[in-house]
Amino acid sequence: MEGLSRRGLGRAALAAAITVPAAARGQTAPSGPPIRIGYSMSLSGGLAGNGRPALLAHRIWAEDINSRGGLLGRPVELVHYDDQSTGAQVPGIYTKLLDVDKVDLVISGYATAIIAPAMPVVMQRQMAFVSLFGTGVNADFKYDRYFSINPAGSQVKETFAKGFFDIAMAMDPKPRSVAILNLDSDFHQRTAESARFLAGQHKLRVVYDRAYPPSTVDFTPIIRAVQASRPDIVYVGSYPPDSAGLLRAANELRVNFQMFGGPMIGPHITAQKLQLGPILNNLVVWDVYAPEPTLQFPGMQTLLERYQPLAARENADALGHYVPPLAYAQMQVLEQAVKRVGRIDQAALAVDMHGNSFDTVIGPLRFDAQGEWVEERNLYTQYQGVQGNGIEQFRKAGTQVILYPPRYKSGELRKPYTAGL
């Protein structure tokens, strides 16, 4: 556990005193007992690659708010435990946070597999709960104090793959067939279901529709079978390192599809961007953020500038384009609700979150009755003009252009996808 108020707070306060501008120094220093925010976070295990960047973003937020006078004039303390990427650890962690640590507020760790096990404990204690990257978690619980920081929205089947298919159907000539390939996991089953639904809506022939198990090592036979089914477009749902394996296999088999991609989680991670390099060219990928001029909101650039040196020191994702913006927004939602309510009152916080919109580094947000975003924001982006394996090109606009939704569009689709050949 790392409590900012114990060791870090002193350092943070000192750093703030040295670094914040004179105007900000005029803020009243936080005083009184800290507001403790508790959560589990995956700092080891398979989800740690995204859990650690999320924690860095939380720490940056905590430093920010403490340097601005704290929350309700009190310092903020983060109380978190490593869930080891194991859902079974999560109920115990939240029980301890609430019963022993007596935290004032709870948020979730990263991803559906960690959020869902926390729900029964959180619901029993009637805590307001802001989650991070959970897909459809509240569809079954229907908890009215749940709020999701995930752009997928509540109509996953109808909207998740909409961007991919809207882009595809705007091609000339229009595609007539689609291959659907997904990892056998909860998230990717949902996304593949959306692809099937939308393929039916667009009257596309599904020529390949298979899932692969998480233990897959060689993706060559899978891509070869997809190739043999001769689809016009290919929709893939995968996690790293599957994404790397699939794209490597696509390169080796010299694929040529009019459009290829989908929720391929992998190129979101900087190390994989650098490894794949030109293989990414013309790949259409679901994402949550891209450094394009159409998607710049107040605070985002500052966040990334503060995150990146910290990440370099702590061996976390170098660019931080994927999880950190949403993790920071998770805290901003909590902060704005507490400030508006003016006290720690779980019921009042939930009413506030349902009733108001939030200004965050990822743009304005509003929650629906299920706690999902009123306006889904599944971004479909395309890597273009990637040369070599340098990192600088991924910091710049134009390398990962936004194709969907139209309000954030920053480039035109390039086709076909040939895996860098």
Partner 1 sequence: MDPNLVLLLNGIVSGLLLGGLYAAAAVGLSISFGMLDIVNIAHPAFMVLSALLVALLWSTTGLDPLLLSLLLAPVFWLLGAGLYSVYHHFFERRGDEAIQGLAFFFGVMFIIEVGLVLTLGPEQHFADAAYAATTWRLGEIDLPLRMLVPAATAMAAIGILALFLRRSFTGRAIAAVAQDREALRLLAINPTHIKRLAFGISIAFAALAGGALAVVQPMDAWSGHIFIGRVFAIVIMGGLSSLGGCVVAALAFGVVENVTATFFGPSWSPAVAFGCLLVVLAFRPQGLFGRMA
Applying CB under 8 A, the residues found at the interface with partner 1 are 43-46, 48-49, 51-52, 184, 210-218, 220-222, 224-225, 228, 240-241, 244-245, 248, 251-254, 269, 271-272, 275, 314-317, 389
Question: Which of 367, 338, 394, 352 shows the shortest CA–CA distance to 71?
Answer: 338
**Least distance to partner 1 from the beta carbon of 211, Å?**
5
Q: Please list, residue by residue across 164-197, b when 16 or more beta carbons sit within 10 angstroms of its beta carbon and e when fewer do.
A: bbbbbeeeeeebebbbbbbbebebbebbbbbbbb
- Cα Rg for the chain, rounded, in angstroms? 22
Q: Which is nearer to partner 1, 193 or 252 (CB)?
A: 252
Q: Which is nearer to partner 1, 88 or 217 (CB)?
A: 217
Length, in residues, of the chain: 421
Question: CA–CA separation, 39 vs 83, rounded Å?
Answer: 9
Token pair for 39: 């959560």
**Least distance to partner 1 from the beta carbon of 272, Å?**
6
Q: Which is nearer to partner 1, 173 or 388 (CB)?
A: 388
Per the listing, tokens 């220093």 go with 29
Question: CA–CA separation, 5 vs 99, rounded Å?
Answer: 20
Question: CA–CA separation, 99 vs 313, rounded Å?
Answer: 34
Question: CA–CA separation, 281 vs 261, rounded Å?
Answer: 11
Q: Which is nearer to partner 1, 207 or 253 (CB)?
A: 253
Per the listing, tokens 């089914």 go with 229
**Least distance to partner 1 from the beta carbon of 316, Å?**
7
**Least distance to partner 1 from the beta carbon of 224, Å?**
6
**Least distance to partner 1 from the beta carbon of 308, Å?**
14
**Least distance to partner 1 from the beta carbon of 189, Å?**
12
Q: Which residues pair with 82 in a beta bridge?
A: 41
**Least distance to partner 1 from the beta carbon of 379, Å?**
22
**Least distance to partner 1 from the beta carbon of 334, Å?**
25
Q: What is the DSSP string of 212-273?
A: E-TT----HHHHHHHHHT--SEEEEEB-TTHHHHHHHHHHHTT--BSEEEESB-STTSHHHH
Question: CA–CA separation, 253 vs 9, rounded Å?
Answer: 54
Q: Which is nearer to partner 1, 84 or 148 (CB)?
A: 84
Q: Which is nearer to partner 1, 101 or 252 (CB)?
A: 252
Q: Which is nearer to partner 1, 96 or 210 (CB)?
A: 210
Give the single-character DSSP code of 180: E
CB contact set of 26 (below 8 Å; sequence gap of 6+): none
**Least distance to partner 1 from the beta carbon of 275, Å?**
5
Q: Which is nearer to partner 1, 54 or 168 (CB)?
A: 54
- Give the pairing of strands 284-287 and 379-383: antiparallel
Q: Which is nearer to partner 1, 230 or 407 (CB)?
A: 230
